[in-house]
Amino acid sequence: MFPLSMICLAVAIFVLVALLDPAGRWRMRHLPGPPALPFLGHLPQVLKMGTPTFFAKCREIYGPIFKVGGKLLNRPTFRGLMLGDHKKMDDMGLVLARDGYWRLMRTAWQPAFSSASLAGYLPRMAACALQLADRMEALAQVAGGAVADGQHPARTLSGYSGHGTASIPYTASSSRSSSRVDLWRELGSMTLQVVGSTAYGVDLHAFEAMDEERCEQAAAAATAAGNGSSFTTNHAPSTAAQSRAGAGGGNGSEMFGRVLVEACRDIFKYSSNIYGSKYGPLSLLLPELQYVMPYIANALPDRPLVKLLQARKQLLESSRTLVNSWKGGGAASGNNTSAKAAPQSAAPPDGDSSKAPGIEPGSFLGLILSAREKSTGQPLSDLSVISQVQTFILAGYETTANALAFAVYNIATHPEVESRLLAEVDSVLGRDRPPSESDLPRLPYTEAVFNEAMRLYPPAHATSRMLASGPVKLGAFSVPPGTPIMMAIHSSHTDPRVWPRPEEFIPERFLPGDPLHASVAARVPGAHAPFGYGVRMCIGWKFAVQEAKVALACLYQRLRFDLEPGQVPLATSVGLTLAPRDGLWVRPMLRWRP
């Protein structure tokens, strides 16, 4: 028997060597980078400055290629604490899949982003964007009293009953103050509506879910303050919510959608640095314990981890229910079997909210399931199918909402950009017509505004891969195999060696023929990479750009947005994505008097 002191000494030496990693440090000694603290690496700098700013500082000092301590980001927190099916789904999703399995998944995804599929998604995107525009217009009208004579079509917070009324432009003096709103959350509901309908083929009723959540919060606050009567007057639910309540709670599609909405929002919230589990920073601090930490965290979870696990379980169960619905013959029926058509959500019989709606054949889930059925030799398991759909909806929800919020923020702070954007939208769409497929190429400045917002505020601010074989030559440096390689997208987007006036918001740099566009394009192909670069580039980037153009066109066709004071510069937070830290608070202003 070894004495206890010898065992403790051996364990201490092993832990010390593992934490200090002298072999790894020696292999990377030739690469430039900031000095790292023992045990902590660069975690203090990251916590103080945020990852994007820290990377930008490193680029300024050490150049485009630099090393950072392993404590910075060894494993994504979102994945590192998961066990069982949740970890399997993370590994199976297109983002983290590897080698032959990744190629199989990439092939399965391709039909969902073909030209025909994108054209089929356009009516859904426009409908969701118009619903958001209607909500903002109704908010502005209620605050400003723009509609008082009852002569025009009614517009409510939950729907829009018509276009085409006579209008006159608002001037700065006649424009009336409207209620403030967190447009970031509204945009999140819109993008959830879009990805929900395209991913699952069902209506998630995201706006109604958000309205009811606000009403519940207001009711709780009023009750706590002993002022329940003011809630009834000032915080009444939307028309759709009232109708649903009167009808007994809504149909299966609506209830099913609410569950998915809540799950998606909680996943992002409790995966962030601000609201997430304390095990996240601990797993970054001690990556050597990566194989033990998930078991410790799941055995002794804190509240954020419990909420995250509950949300992921709910998303998994909901997706599994839809797959089982398809297998049991629950796919939506009808002649609309191609992604070119505009599928409609299918719901169970009235009053039955326990069943999931059927899957529309033209939806992403329908396409993935069809691809599995047609494949030979490499069938996809249910878990693999579910992981692809979850990747689709999570990747398309907050990232696009964040990017649109950053675009609106920059439009609001640059009047000259707003003027040119409004002129383009007016010339192409007029006042009433929603964008069609043929209109999209005629909105180059709208797309340039979105691209420039993505340059300065890329939601996916960094991406990484593991160098499987090597060594690989990066510039003048040789990088050994097994090294994590991270592309600091935010840092490269503001590199003055590539981008003239890099800190300025100038959409013209993305317009072919503009001198700024020529100067960037000639220097570094792929310098603008908000969706990544190369074969692993986000497969849904065209989907996101199309959705953003449609949303901006529909919103600015009727409205403009004034920022609430105290938001310049806009505070951001870094979690799974780069996001507005405190939302984006604006006052919607009508462009035309009904």
pLDDT (mean) for 420-425? 98
pTM above 0.85, yes or no: no
If one compares 207 and 160, the residue with the highest pLDDT of the two is 207
- Given a cut of 90, is residue 447 above it in pLDDT? yes
Give the residue-averaged pLDDT of 93-109: 84
Distance CA 91, CA 149 (A): 59
Percent of the chain with pLDDT over 90: 33
Of 196 and 551, which is predicted with more confidence?
551
Ranked by mean pLDDT, the top range of 132-146, 354-368, 533-547 is: 533-547
Could you tell me which residues are beta bridge partners of residue 309? none
Predicted confidence (pLDDT) per residue in 244-258, tens digit: 333 334 455 667 777
CB-based contact 125:547 (threshold 8 Å): yes
Mean pLDDT of 312-324: 86
| 3-class DSSP string for 184-248 | HHHHHHHHHHHHHHHHCCCCCCHHHHHHHHHHHHHHHHHHHCCCHHHHHHHCCCCHHHHHHHHCC
pLDDT for 184: 97
CB contact at 8 A, 118 and 549 = no
Is the four-CA dihedral 492, 397, 235, 554 of positive or negative sign?
Answer: positive
Q: Report the pLDDT averaged over residues 65-94.
A: 68
pLDDT at residue 167, rounded to an integer: 37
Q: Say whether pLDDT at 364 is over 90.
A: no
The pLDDT value given to residue 393: 86
Grade residue 24 by pLDDT with cuts at 50, 70 and 90.
Answer: low
Percent residues over pLDDT 70 in the chain = 72
**Counting Cβ atoms within 10 Å, is residue 194 exposed (0-12), middle (13-18) or buried (19+)?**
buried
**Side chain identity at residue 409, one-letter code:** Y
Map 467-508 to HEC letters.
CCCCCEEECCEEECCCCEEEECHHHHHCCCCCCCCCCCCCHH
Place of tokens 């692809």: 388
Mean pLDDT of the 171-200 span: 78
Residue 72 confidence class, pLDDT cut points 50, 70, 90? very low
- Of the pLDDT bands very low, low, confident and very high (cuts 50, 70, 90), residue 173 is very low
pLDDT at residue 6 in the model: 55
What is the predicted pLDDT for the residue at 243? 38
Domains of the chain, CATH where assigned: 77-174+206-460+530-593 (1.10.630.10)
Beta strand extents in 324-365 (DSSP E only): none
Give the residue carrying structure tokens 């525009």. Answer: 133
In this predicted model, what pLDDT tens digit does every residue of 213-244 receive, in sequence order? 778 777 776 677 666 554 444 443 344 333 33
Going by pLDDT thresholds of 50, 70 and 90, the confidence category of residue 360 is: low
Residue 341: what pLDDT? 33
pLDDT of residue 289: 72
pLDDT in tens, 552-575: 999 999 999 999 999 999 999 887
Write out the two tokens for 142: 């209620």
User: Residue 278: which residues within 8 A CB-CB, separation 6 or more?
Assistant: 302, 304
Q: Name the strand (E) or helix (H) holding 579.
A: strand 578-580
Please tell me the least confidently modeled range out of 9-23, 86-100, 334-348, 486-500: 334-348
- The response to whether 215 counts as a known ligand-binding position is no
Higher pLDDT, 393 or 77: 393
CB 398 within 8 A of CB 265: no
The pairing of strands 463-466 and 484-487 is antiparallel
- Mean pLDDT comparison of 85-94, 135-144, 487-496, 514-523, highest-scoring range: 487-496
Q: Are 199 and 392 in contact (CB under 8 A)?
A: yes
